Amino acid sequence: MKVGIPRGLLYYKYKPFFTTFFEELGAEIIESPDTNKEILDLGVKLCTDEACLPIKVFHGHVEKIKDKCDLILVPRIMQVEKREFICPKFCGIPEMIENNIKDLPQITKAPIYSYSADKFLNWAYETGKLFTKSYIKIQRAFDYAIKEQNMFKEGIDDEGFQYKVALIGHTYNIYDKFINMNLVKKLNNFGIGVITHEVVDDNVKHMEVKKLFKRPFWTFAREYYGFASYAVRNQLIDGIIYLSSFACGIDSVIVELLKLEFEDIPFLLLKIDEHTGEAGFDTRVEAFVDMLTRRKGGNLA
């Protein structure tokens, strides 16, 4: 069986798990290519206009590989932590895909609750059934996949730069070089190092958000806020760049929270959607870099 894995949404985070799981069950993996203009255009065309850019891009990836596979992974991720939620769009993504894309092969629809192995296994059984009748085999594939995932080191933590910024945003914005117009490299070229939230331990983030008036409802909010708070307190960074999807409700909440809390830290909000022009984007980045370097007494020109 050929299993398609679209390079969109949380692919960047959970790729080791899913590839290993399906491979262990004997599948051949078909990954969509890195996001490119064609995929973006396809996504924009197929998806409803109100959706955020990452959802559109995901549509494009599915469309691109749908004819080559028997099953496509469309992860309906509900919860990765107890008492927290991922974005509501993740809960409905299989339905969006089914309604917007014609001539689909089978897609995975079972919900994923990954905060405990028990819960997560439900997804594995539900999906593994399509490959084998043996629960033991599925269990083994699952165990392997978890092991692979745990070995996966995520995150960016640049060293050897004079300045450093916290780059905050969804992984599918930060690691998709086409969508973010190579932001990390651009910053590096300006002499700015980058640190991302995965570098800071989850427990630390849990501790940091305790200071908030109310426990964050969204997993992303806890992760990003917790990271920013830790990085600012320990003076790891000179500024914060938030890479946000246009029309992302979760981002807009987190951005307000960060701005309120860290007033004195230079903050740049970069919003991206399918209309974002590279010239204006670069201007913002450049001006922000000037602002940072000048603060520290660097040469402006």
Partner 1 sequence: MYYLGIDVGSVSTDIVVIDENYNVVESVYLRTKGRPIKAVQEGFKYIKEKIKTNEIAGVGTTGSGRHIAAFLVGADVVKNEITSHAVAALSLDKDVRTIIEIGGQDSKIITLENGMITDFAMNTVCAAGTGSFLDRQAERLEIPIEEFGDYALRSKNPVRIAGRCAVFAESDMIHKQQLGFAVEDIIRGLCEALVRNYLNNVAKGKDIKSKIFFQGGVAANKGMKRAFEEALGCEVFVPKHYNMMGAIGAAILAAERQIKWTNFKGFEIADVKYETASFECSGCSNLCEVAVIKCEDKVIGYFGDRCGRHSGKVAV
How far apart are alpha carbons 148 and 146 in whole angstroms?
Answer: 5
How far apart are alpha carbons 265 and 268 in whole angstroms?
Answer: 10
The length of the chain in residues reads 301
Report the residue number, 151 or 301, with the smaller CB distance to partner 1.
301
CB proximity list for 154: less than 8 A, separation 6 or greater: 13, 171, 196, 198
CB 248 to partner 1: min, Å: 16
**Are 139 and 27 a contacting pair, CB within 8 Å?**
no
Please pick, from the candidates 26, 33, 88, 92, the single residue that binds partner 1 as defined by CB under 8 A: 33
Please pick, from the candidates 13, 76, 170, 222, the single residue that binds ligand SF4 as defined by CB under 6 A: 170
Residue 232 binding ligand SF4, by CB under 6 A: no
How far apart are alpha carbons 80 and 114 in whole angstroms?
Answer: 5
Residue 284 binding partner 1, by CB under 8 A: yes
248 binds, among partner 1, ligand SF4, none (CB under 5 to 8 A by kind): ligand SF4
What character string, x for contact with partner 1 (CB under 8 A) and - otherwise, covers 36-75?
xxxx------------------------------------
CB proximity list for 208: less than 8 A, separation 6 or greater: 225, 226, 227, 229, 230, 233
Residue 259 binding partner 1, by CB under 8 A: yes
Applying CB under 8 A, the residues found at the interface with partner 1 are 33, 36-39, 178, 181-182, 259, 266-267, 275, 277-280, 282-284, 286-287, 290-291, 294-295, 300-301
